[in-house]
Structure 1
Amino acid sequence: MSDGATRVLADAATTADPVVDAARELIAGLGLRPWGQVAASVYETGRLVAVAPWLTGHDQRIAFLLRSQRPDGAWGPPEGYALVPTLSATDALLAALADGRAGTELLAPVARGLGALVGTLLPSDARTLPDTPALDLIVPALVDTINDRLAGLEPATAARLPRPPLPLPTGLNRDRLRAVRSAVAAGRTLPPKLAHFYEILDAVPADAGPTLTAVGASPAATAAWLTAVGPAAGPAAHAFLRALIRDGGGPVPCPAPITVFERAWVLSGLRRAGITINPPAAVLESLTAATAGRGIATGDGLPTDADTTAVSLDALARLGRPADPASLWAYETADGFCTWPGEDGFSVTTNAHVLDAFGQHVARHPDAGARYHRAVDRLSAVLAGHQRADGAWQDRWHASPYYATACCVLALAEFGRGATAAEAVDRAAGWVLNSQRADGSWGRWDGTAEETAYALQVLLAVPTTVPRVDEAVARGHAYLHESTAREHRPLWYGKELYCPTVIVRAAVLAACRLTRIRASGVDRSVVDCGYRSTKTAT
């Protein structure tokens, strides 16, 4: 290890630790903002501009869209991830242009947005587009709406913009959108997860009423419902939106609320990193529904899911309130565990978190039933079987392979069984080592603090004898300290990529803390959980 790397790790081990103080401040804030903290969403903000111009903050939302537009005319992250936010923002500005309250200054950004759609985003094959939720509903719905708005413009205005109709990407059609809307019109009950997309379904929530806080954990869905029924019919929902708008200065986040999701990920991650925390009782109590029935949901308005349930159970166990993870059996399938019944796809991170939950249980209860032990054996093999040839994992809930790889490595390193699990961890560490950037960071498109934190967590889960690890850790740790002022890139899968800011901050703090533990030679298995794991793969 170089003298510079030795010096960085020594400093981390011997100086006062601000990480613990920052983590405790983070925990204290969980109860103060119970809906969670998520960065502003282009898609959701655009939908509020288009469907609810009567809501306070309308002009601020338009201004947010204008300043968020990229130089190439699109909105959002690189590649196909820009399609959904660009459709929403372009449609929103067209709506503002058509209602007459905005001047012709919107023409140029609308033209640039349409140019990006026609020039690069829509002329694509649907098979190459990212698997963001309900893309096959959102894209046709917004393309149709934009075409309708363009057709309805005044001739003088329309002459300055591309002519409709905009095409759909090759291989994408309107069949599912028509089927869902037909089901809504016929009064059929829709799967609960579709509530998240009510703004494009012309639907009324089944539980609509004065006490409903949020439709599908989505400001856009909530705003669309309130526009249809009037604010007086949903005072709780109206208050929820006003609070989000006030906190964001006009723009709104998505998803929201994410109460349980935020708390579970933050508490589990910080405690796993060996940070002693004392969450408020109300915060802990909000996770306990994970122990019953089919578990718990990310937040109000969403269905229960195995991912949030598993991480909540893991957090409770690490905080001294372990519970039987039997609620997770409802999600067992022939392939492993689904995020929710009927999931279109397979999530390695959900299965990694389920391994954490079952692993915690059998570590504390070696005499647990054979079904629990079989689940740990099975998940160890399932995760190893989904590893990519290069040693990484990729998931459907996060754009970065560093997140998926960290989830899988941490679960396998702590609870995985068999030589295959141990080999998978080593291969992942090799991939991380080989993909570090020159500035010490890691990232899919460029270096980010979040992805660097995940990469460090992978490296810090392997034995110290692995070559080059300490050097890479030192460089990554230095990058984190130099990047604290940077804005986090949205990487989490929703209708568009989004950033749960407190969860990301907790991941960075956890990586910094683990660096200190490595530097001081403390045994993580003792620091993390207060007991030594019974894992067979290290």
Structure 2
Amino acid sequence: MTAPTLILGAVVAPGLTDAVGDLLAQLEQQPYGQVSTSVYETGRLVADAPWVDGHARRLAYLLAEQGADGSWGPAGGYALVPTASAVQALLASLVRADPPDPAGPDRIEVVAAAIRGLAALARCLGDDAAMPDTPAADLIVPTLVARVDAHLAELAGAPTLAGAPGVLPRVDRRRVDAVNALLTSGQPVPSKLWHAYEVLGPAAATRDDVAPVDGAVGASPAATAVWLGHRRTDDPAARTYLDAVVARQGGPVPCCTPITVFERSWTLATLARVGLPVDPGARLLAELAAALGPDGAATGPGLPADADTTSTVLYALARLGRPVDPASLLHYDLGSHFCTWRGEDGQSVTTNAHVLEALGWHSRHGADRYTARVASLAGWLRDVQGPDGLWTDRWHASPYYATCCAVAALAGYAPPAVADAAIDRAVERILADQRDDGGWGRWSSTAEETAYAVQILLGSGRPIRPAVTAAVSRAVEHLRADRSDYPPLWHDKDLYAPILIVRAAVIAARKLVLAVAPTINQALSTTTPEAARSRA
């Protein structure tokens, strides 16, 4: 039986070394990072900053991204934030009576999209699905709903929106009211709030403790644009940042940018974790090390340092021969587990998995003072595994990402008594979840989620059983080197895709498949995938 053998070679082998080299080159050549565009963030610029170059292209982008049901974004509650943003942006354009532009849609198209969007927004708000655990959703949704209602009142005397909902369902505003009270109190405000400056309202304009870092307010184009709108005088650095973001993306904008430290650390850690030869160069490593301050590293300029980014930077540097003492992580130690940042609402599985890797590496390489903490954190990570064998997390829509992070950390740095049973449960669930087309995915098969599943099956050090062989042989088609269709799955104000980080995950999975290809090929030469699954 030669076909599966040929598929393994044709799909995962070609260009693997070149792919790693290209990835490293892009980390240096495009230091801002590569991030998918955001309906939410682009909608904020359409609504609040029509003066920024590319307004018509952003308006056209919103119409092009609208789904057949009138909403924006995927299911499961994730449509709420982008739909609210897009609808409010379209209504703001109608209220302003934006002049026609050849680069954008005409008014009739905007009206039609707004009517369909309003109906979709009303459905999203009336749905029983919980509001997604994405940053600032409890501020964004009530603020934008109030603005939509205000626009509907302004347009009520015209026939423009005939047949559209007149008033949207009520939304809980307690969080918005509490933040507004804090902003007007003069008391210190958590700096992470500035990432959502665009929905904080007039009270934010009175604060003198918010200012751009490297031109960006909260690493957000929308936050920066609204902050600029509140200024009586222009800020050249902020305007340069905003214009550069728009120019790079061609009009629409991403949610968080730049993501230099985040992109570099995740990419390098992913490649090094599976043993790929990685030589990013002295300058890039020095810049990554320089991102570490007393409290660790931040994802982007104007954002607070956090344990997730800090631990991944530390792990990447250690694996690449530039270890830095991980004492900065202790700022986030809550005793039972680590918070992403102080005052975090909730907890993150993937943050703690990354902390376990960082501390685990140092403990194994002579830093005995972290050994007890590594053992207890491994126990915590095992204990929060779901009853179905998977882990879920607040920074990614797919359980396969969280499960991949947890399995890698437990396999690498937890004692077998803690790790083995948890990993075996995860492997069994991964095998059961494989789709008919051979891939994995929350909504449909994706290269990214298939890569995480393959890493769980092959990267945990567990025996490669016939069922694993069969599953991997069916999955390789999704790991093709020429695939680049990465849907947004990562949590920011709406979902996004960090392109190079996802590519690194796919490359890592391809490497693991190649490492066990002889075993898989031998098994495939004597049995069929169907028979292997039945014997397992």
If the length of structure 1 is used for normalisation, what is the TM-score?
A: 0.90
Corresponding residue for residue 530 of structure 1: none
Corresponding residue for residue 469 of structure 1: 468
Q: How far 1:414 sits from its partner (Å)?
A: 1.1
Aligned equivalents of 2:238 and 2:163: distance in 1? 37
Corresponding residue for residue 103 of structure 2: none
Corresponding residue for residue 441 of structure 2: 443
Is the partner of 2:30 in helix, strand or coil? coil
Change (3 A) 1:179 1:341: same
- Give the gaps of 5 or more residues in structure 1: 522-538
Given that residues 291 and 323 in structure 1 are in contact (C-alpha distance below 8 angstroms), is that contact kept between their aligned partners in structure 2?
A: no
Aligned equivalents of 2:213 and 2:39: distance in 1? 28
Corresponding residue for residue 375 of structure 2: 377
Corresponding residue for residue 104 of structure 1: 108
Deviations 1:63-109, CA, capped at 9 Å, x for gaps? 00000000100001112100000000000011111111252331110
Change (3 A) 1:163 1:520: closer
Change (3 A) 1:166 1:361: same
Is the partner of 1:250 in helix, strand or coil? coil
Q: How far 1:476 sits from its partner (Å)?
A: 1.2
Q: How far 1:500 sits from its partner (Å)?
A: 0.8
- Give the gaps of 5 or more residues in structure 2: 101-106, 520-536
Q: In the alignment, residue 466 of structure 1 is paired with which amino acid?
A: R
Aligned equivalents of 1:434 and 1:396: distance in 2? 24
Q: How far 1:181 sits from its partner (Å)?
A: 1.6
Alignment of 1:420-459 (within 5 A): 420-459=418-457
2:77 pairs with 1:80: yes
Change (3 A) 1:4 1:412: farther
Corresponding residue for residue 231 of structure 2: 229
Aligned equivalents of 1:413 and 1:4: distance in 2? 33
Given that residues 97 and 104 in structure 1 are in contact (C-alpha distance below 8 angstroms), is that contact kept between their aligned partners in structure 2?
A: no
Q: In the alignment, residue 67 of structure 1 is paired with which amino acid?
A: A
Change (3 A) 1:163 1:478: closer
Given that residues 214 and 301 in structure 2 are in contact (C-alpha distance below 8 angstroms), is that contact kept between their aligned partners in structure 1?
A: no
> Which deviates more, 445-454 or 413-422?
413-422
Deviations 1:199-246, CA, capped at 9 Å, x for gaps? 01121464555875111111110110111216x532111111111111
Given that residues 73 and 109 in structure 1 are in contact (C-alpha distance below 8 angstroms), is that contact kept between their aligned partners in structure 2?
A: yes
Q: In the alignment, residue 358 of structure 2 is paired with which amino acid?
A: A
Aligned equivalents of 2:217 and 2:292: distance in 1? 25
Aligned equivalents of 1:352 and 1:400: distance in 2? 16
Alignment of 1:392-403 (within 5 A): 392-403=390-401
Tell me the number of residue pairs that the alignment of Structure 1 and Structure 2 aligns: 509
Aligned equivalents of 1:372 and 1:90: distance in 2? 50
> Which deviates more, 65-74 or 509-518?
509-518
Corresponding residue for residue 250 of structure 2: 249
2:90 pairs with 1:89: no
Corresponding residue for residue 15 of structure 2: 18
Corresponding residue for residue 221 of structure 2: 219
Q: In the alignment, residue 344 of structure 2 is paired with which amino acid?
A: E
Q: How far 1:247 sits from its partner (Å)?
A: 1.1
Q: In the alignment, residue 185 of structure 1 is paired with which amino acid?
A: T
Aligned partner of 2:514 among 493, 513, 516? 516
Aligned equivalents of 2:516 and 2:455: distance in 1? 11
Corresponding residue for residue 347 of structure 1: 348
Corresponding residue for residue 358 of structure 2: 357
Q: How far 1:506 sits from its partner (Å)?
A: 1.1
Aligned equivalents of 2:280 and 2:92: distance in 1? 45
Given that residues 11 and 479 in structure 2 are in contact (C-alpha distance below 8 angstroms), is that contact kept between their aligned partners in structure 1?
A: no
Given that residues 111 and 161 in structure 2 are in contact (C-alpha distance below 8 angstroms), is that contact kept between their aligned partners in structure 1?
A: no
Given that residues 12 and 519 in structure 1 are in contact (C-alpha distance below 8 angstroms), is that contact kept between their aligned partners in structure 2?
A: no
Deviations 1:273-305, CA, capped at 9 Å, x for gaps? 222122133321222146541101011110000
Aligned equivalents of 1:517 and 1:233: distance in 2? 56
Aligned partner of 1:123 among 126, 150, 156? 126
Q: In the alignment, residue 134 of structure 1 is paired with which amino acid?
A: A
Aligned partner of 1:47 among 12, 19, 44? 44
Is the partner of 2:83 in helix, strand or coil? helix
Given that residues 356 and 413 in structure 2 are in contact (C-alpha distance below 8 angstroms), is that contact kept between their aligned partners in structure 1?
A: yes
Change (3 A) 1:290 1:106: closer
Given that residues 5 and 470 in structure 1 are in contact (C-alpha distance below 8 angstroms), is that contact kept between their aligned partners in structure 2?
A: no
Change (3 A) 1:161 1:149: farther
2:117 pairs with 1:113: yes
Q: In the alignment, residue 49 of structure 1 is paired with which amino acid?
A: V
% identical aligned pairs: 50
Q: How far 1:318 sits from its partner (Å)?
A: 0.9
Corresponding residue for residue 498 of structure 1: 496
Q: In the alignment, residue 94 of structure 1 is paired with which amino acid?
A: L
Corresponding residue for residue 65 of structure 2: 68
Given that residues 213 and 302 in structure 2 are in contact (C-alpha distance below 8 angstroms), is that contact kept between their aligned partners in structure 1?
A: no
